[in-house]
Amino acid sequence: MYIDSHCHLSFPELASDIGGVLARMRAQHVRTAVNVCTTLEEFPRVLALAEREADIYASAGVHPDSRDGQEPDVATLVTLAAHPRVVAIGETGLDYFRLQEPLEWQRERFRVHIRAARASGLPLIIHTRAAAADTLRIMREEHATEAGGVMHCFTESLDVARAALDLGFYISISGIVTFKNAQEVQEVARFIPRERLLIETDAPYLAPVPMRGRTNEPAFVPYVAGRIAELTSRSQDEVGDACLANTVKLFNKIHREVNVN
């Protein structure tokens, strides 16, 4: 069994065929998916799906690449996080790849999310790209360890992985691990302790081999587990089951409804 710890089911590529997406996900034994919020404007749609579908959960947050929408404050995020179907704060973090300095607003927004996570008792979903040093620095300054969480779609070095693990965070590996030229991600996937590993699709992006070039969807998360199984000499079922258990432990509001042995 599998869980997709990070996907965007409310993006038009997936929302336009949500019935098919959910049917294919269930057919592939993907028990649960976390539908990750990227703007406050999107949040009502993210939540509505989680309220309607027993196996879909929601997060609340504003992506670091989102510039034009409503700016979140701690009180707003804490209020949204109180809903029983909201299991995490994010995705948040820093992205110096897509946008250029001055990005003080991005760092401030990241701090707001960490404060909201600590206040609400929910874990963080952290996105970091070309900004690892600042991401780790702000996590330390804001005591992100108190909230805990996951570094999602991890593409950083082994040293950054080690630092995130030291802060008590989980690391989530996406379909990038199946790409031929992704040696660094493969090395990280081998290194992460089994009890700290999560897997995700980040759908609709980054479809894994052999689906590369197609719209990604939660039904493809078993390919991520399969590649990690090869890299770590474990069975695909073992990787899937361990990641499912880890995700439910991290996003512990899921626990009420999913039985994991």
Q: Could you tell me the smallest distance in angstroms from the CB atom of residue 150 to Zn ion?
A: 11
CB 71 within 8 A of CB 47: no
Interaction between residue 113 and Zn ion (CB under 5 A): no
Name the 3-class secondary structure at 216: coil
Interaction between residue 109 and Zn ion (CB under 5 A): no
Q: How many CB atoms lie within 10 A of CB 86?
A: 24
Q: Could you tell me the smallest distance in angstroms from the CB atom of residue 174 to Zn ion?
A: 9
Q: For residues 220-259, which are near Zn ion according to CB under 5 A?
A: none
Interaction between residue 127 and Zn ion (CB under 5 A): yes
Q: Which is nearer to Zn ion, 42 or 202 (CB)?
A: 202
Contact letters (x/-) for Zn ion, 75-94, by CB under 5 A? --------------------
Crossing angle of the two packed helices 158-166 and 183-191, in degrees rounded to 10:
30
| 46-54, 98-106, 123-131, 214-222 -> range binding Zn ion (CB under 5 A) | 123-131
Interaction between residue 115 and Zn ion (CB under 5 A): no
Q: For residues 160-219, which are near Zn ion according to CB under 5 A?
A: 202
Half-sphere exposure of 31 (CA within 13 A, CB side): 16
Q: Which is nearer to Zn ion, 13 or 230 (CB)?
A: 13
Q: Could you tell me the smallest distance in angstroms from the CB atom of residue 205 to Zn ion?
A: 8
Q: How many CB atoms lie within 10 A of CB 217?
A: 26
Element (H, E) at 48: helix 43-52
Q: Could you tell me the smallest distance in angstroms from the CB atom of residue 242 to Zn ion?
A: 22
Q: Which is nearer to Zn ion, 13 or 238 (CB)?
A: 13
Q: Which is nearer to Zn ion, 192 or 206 (CB)?
A: 206
CA dist 218 to 14, 198, 199, Å?
10, 14, 11
Binding residue count for Zn ion, defined by CB under 5 A? 2
Cα 227 off chain centre by: 18
Going by C-alpha positions, the residue among 50, 70, 54, 53 that lies closest to residue 62 is: 70
Residues that bind Zn ion (CB under 5 A): 127, 202
